[in-house]
Amino acid sequence: MFVLKGVGASPGVAIGPAVILPGDSFAVTRQYVDPSEVKAELSKMKTAMDKTMRELDSCEKKVLATLGQEYAQLMSTHKLILQDPSLHDSVRKKIKDEHLSAQAAIFLTLQELAASFDKIEDPFFKERRNDVFDVGKRLAKNLEADKGEFLASIKKPSILIAHTLYPSDTINLQENQVLGFCTDIGGKTSHTAILAQSLKMPAVVGLSSAAKQVQKDDTVIVDGDNGLLIINPDRYTLANYKKIQRENKKAEALLKTINHLPVITQDGHPLKLFVNYDPRTDTKENKKLITDGLGLLRTEFLFMNTPTPPSEEDQHRMYLAVAKRFDMRPATIRLADLGGDKMPQFPLDEFDQEQNPFMGCRGVRLLLKNPELLHTQLRAILHTACEVPAQIRIMIPMVSSVEEVRHVRNAYNQALQELEQEGKKPVNKVALGAMIEVPAAAMALDGMIGLLDFISIGTNDLIQYLIAVDRVNQEVAHMYDPCHPAVIRTLNLIIQTAHKRGKKVSICGELASDAKMLPLLLGLEVDALSVTPRMFLRVKNNIRNLNFETCSDMAQAALLMGSSEEIRSLIEQNKNEDS
Amino acid sequence: MIKKDIKISNRLGLHARPAAMIAQKAGEFSCDVKLSKDDVEVNAKSIMGVMMLAAEYGSTVCITTDGEDERQAADAIAELFNNKFNEEF
């Protein structure tokens, strides 16, 4: 038996045989292939090369149009590297003669090339190895595009072990016999984790070396509550976890009995509880939940994996289905938060590779630079509001200044006018709000609140930006700390500023379903929470067991504290008193 | 087989762009095209090979062509060098 400690990304226990996902660019998980697979590996290689060539082609065209001939030449250099016979020959030879996997062949070839470049003394020439690596990485990335195929080949219920999983991979897991998964990379708030929660799939991330330590068909236990991966458990441990699995099932059944009860604290303080909704993972069970509405519809998925942006009609159809699903309850649709780790395939302005994409052109910034995207989406949403008596709300992502809000407000008004000229008018007024996730927007909220109908706090990004911690960087991920005094004070500032102007504040993001943080959020007088369907009843149960007055006192005390340590012990203390 | 010595007269030497031009040009011919400097010989149709020569300003490289269109290839490659890869005037 062997236990690896990571971060619990999605609660629950899953037990089963391990399958190992062929790895990410630079973590080769499968060194050799069977001689009978050589042909398949070669054709995989060919497909990846063709795809890389097409990418470089379109990149070159774009560079040519924006930066000119001089820079476009750099891309043609990359194309030549890709076509270079010494690269081809070496990779083909390694696959054919040594039966290496395509991935391993590329990796080794790159290593050899790098070694040759390293021998060069002139630093100017040495630098060129970076060009070679750039192309190599692209190639390796395109080679792993076959994940879908791999997942489809899983025949029995299994636990997936991967170096890293992208949100787009995660979405395909459930239909592919995956009971739970583990990854080496990633944190609790990565989008992969969030998707796992909505799929109700136990998951542990940030394990560093699981992909290397687990063998295919090892029996493994994923303990999503404690962030553990147990490899080849002994009999006692296995029995123990099976018992936990049964108990979890019972607890879940118990939670269902509170579905029809109001969301209210013991001392009568009401709260709205919304659900974050993803139409791709909606289930019968989710539909049974009695919620106050849709707190966050992420629309990025409409823009991903498509060669062209979705048309107004396409979007409209989708939004209409969502509006109908939530009937007369509020349905909050967030404008596409593209950029960062969500890169569409179709070309966009201001969309070159960025050094620091999370601080780059994403969310509203990207939309304002691509006004046709913004316009189409606004029209599609407003059009929906003309056809059903729903309470549709539009949320702007990544706002950092009042000017941005004003621009979107103008675009909103323009779209509204156009529809009116076409004889269409929203049945109910469509509210326009902002996601507050940039510290600047929190600090200067008083300047923009007048233009907003509501606000929602995106805690994942807010904390990340506030503490300057990249939540997927393992070196600093532990510093991502919701108990940091700066976080509590900023939340307080946002809520108080909004309340002064009579605007409601909701919190969406991981923090909203964190049982330990819940009393603080309530005490800070947040009006609504939005959580995943998976967490919905648990959060509701937790709220119903809290006392608002105690929460208030606690929040006031926390606001006076200067360290996370103090705040954390305050929370723990409160928890102990409760039980 | 044709051998031709040529001195590198562009300031930056055979960096990425000249290497790209050489590989591209060499690729247009069916004959073998090799470049050598000191003891190192590389395939001129390989951009990485050419870059790895790390041939700097003032050094001498040898062009070797062998095959049907060896004459045209040698001339075309030499011309690139003589034109300093269009980078200095």
- Sheet of strand A203-205, all strands in order from the earlier edge strand to the far edge: A2-5, A228-231, A219-223, A13-20, A158-162, A178-183, A203-205, A7-10
**Which pLDDT band holds residue A26 (cuts at 50, 70, 90)?**
very low
Q: The domain containing residue B22 runs over which residues?
A: 2-86
Residue A506 clears pLDDT 50, i.e. is over it: yes
**A508 a catalytic residue:** yes
**Mean pLDDT value across residues A40-45:** 85
Best residue in A79, A86, A118, A139 for a mutation probing chain B (most B CBs within 10 Å): A86
Strands A505-508 and B32-37: unpaired
Q: What is the mean pLDDT of chain B?
A: 89
Which runs of consecutive H residues, i.e. helices, occur in A67-84?
69-83
pLDDT at site A351: 57
> Are the beta carbons of A7 and A206 closer than 8 angstroms?
yes
- pLDDT for the residue A579: 44
Average pLDDT for A123-136: 75
Contact with chain B for residue A91, Cβ under 8 A: no
For residue A304, count CB atoms less than 10 angstroms from its CB and return exposed for 0-12, middle for 13-18, buried for 19 or more: middle
pLDDT at A85: 86
* pTM for this predicted structure: 0.60
Token representation of residue A172: 């395909």
Round to whole Å and give the CA distance between A416 and A499: 28
A203: pLDDT strictly greater than 90: yes
**Do A397 and A373 touch, CB atoms closer than 8 A?**
no
Q: What local confidence, expressed as pLDDT, does residue A148 receive?
A: 61
Cα A70 to chain centroid distance, Å, stands at 37
Q: Is the pLDDT of residue A427 over 60?
A: yes
End-to-end, the C-alpha distance of chain A in Å comes to 34
* Contact assessment for residue B14 and residue B22, using Cβ atoms and an 8 Å cutoff: yes
Number of alpha carbons in the 13 Å side-chain half-sphere of residue A67: 13
pLDDT digits (tens, 9 = 90+) for A209-264: 887 888 888 999 999 988 899 999 999 999 999 999 998 888 788 788 899 999 99
Q: Is A124's Cβ below 8 Å from some Cβ in B? A: yes
CB proximity A88 to B under 8 Å: no
pLDDT (tens digit per residue) in A284-312: 778 889 999 999 999 998 998 788 899 99
- Give the pLDDT confidence score for residue A30 in this predicted structure: 58
Residue with tokens 């030879």: A93
Structure confidence at residue A146 (pLDDT):
59
How many angstroms separate the CA atoms of A71 and B79, rounded? 24
Residues of A in contact with B13 (CB under 8 A): 124-125
The per-residue pLDDT for A486 is 97
Please name the CATH architecture into which domain A267-547 falls: Alpha-Beta Barrel (3.20)
Residue A146 to chain B, least CA–CA distance (Å): 28
Report the pLDDT value the prediction gives residue A55, as an integer from 0 to 100.
Answer: 82
Distance of CA A447 to the CA centre of its chain: 30
pLDDT at A192: 75
HSE-up of A264 (CA within 13 Å, CB side)? Answer: 8
Which member of A84, A86, A131 has the closest CB to residue B16? A131
Lay out the sheet containing B32-37: strands in order across. Answer: B2-7, B60-66, B32-37, B40-43
- Given A73, A87, A116, which is nearest B52 (Cβ)? A116
Mean pLDDT, rounded, for A481-506: 96
Contacts of A124 (CB under 8 A, 6+ apart): B12, B13, B15
To the nearest whole percent, how much of chain A has pLDDT over 90? Answer: 49
Mean pLDDT of B22-26: 92
Confirm if A433 and A454 have CB atoms less than 8 A apart.
Answer: yes
The average confidence (pLDDT) of chain A is 87
Summarize the confidence of residues A327-343 as an average pLDDT: 89
Query: Which of A275-279, A324-328, A473-477, A498-502 is the least confident region?
Result: A473-477
- Enumerate the domain spans of chain A: 2-21+163-252, 35-144, 267-547
Residue the block writes with tokens 């030549």: A80
**Contact at CB, B17 and A77, closer than 8 angstroms:** yes
Of the listed ranges A1-10, A62-71, A257-266, A306-315, the one predicted with least confidence: A62-71
Average confidence (pLDDT) over B39-65: 89
Specify whether the CB–CB gap between A541 and A518 falls below 8 A.
no
- With a cut of 70, say whether residue A576 has pLDDT above it: no
Compute the distance between CA of residue A454 and CA of residue A290 in angstroms, rounded to an integer. 23
**Mean local confidence (pLDDT), A181-207:** 81
CATH number (domain holding residue B38):
3.30.1340.10
Share of chain A above pLDDT 70, in %: 91
Q: Of B4, B12, B13, B15, which one is the catalytic site residue?
A: B15
CATH number of A35-144, picked from 3.40.50.300, 2.30.42.10, 1.10.274.10, 3.60.15.10 = 1.10.274.10
Q: Which fold has domain A2-21+163-252?
A: Glucose Oxidase; domain 1 (3.50.30)
Q: Which has the minimum average pLDDT: A9-23, A139-153, A260-274, A314-328?
A: A139-153
Phi-psi map region of A227: left, alpha, beta (phi>0 left; psi -120 to 50 alpha): left
A383 pLDDT band (50/70/90 cuts)? very high
Closest-CA residue to A388 (of A319, A314, A298): A319
Q: Which residue has the higher pLDDT, A176 or A277?
A: A277
- A215 Cβ contact list (under 8 Å, min separation 6): A18, A20
The answer to whether B16 contacts A77, with C-beta atoms less than 8 Å apart, is yes
Which residues of B have a CB under 8 Å from any CB of A?
Answer: 12-13, 15-17, 19-20, 23-24, 43, 45-49, 51-52, 54, 56
- Report the number of distinct structural domains present in chain B: 1
Collapse the DSSP code of A150 into the 3-class scheme (helix H, G, I; strand E, B; otherwise coil) and give the result.
helix
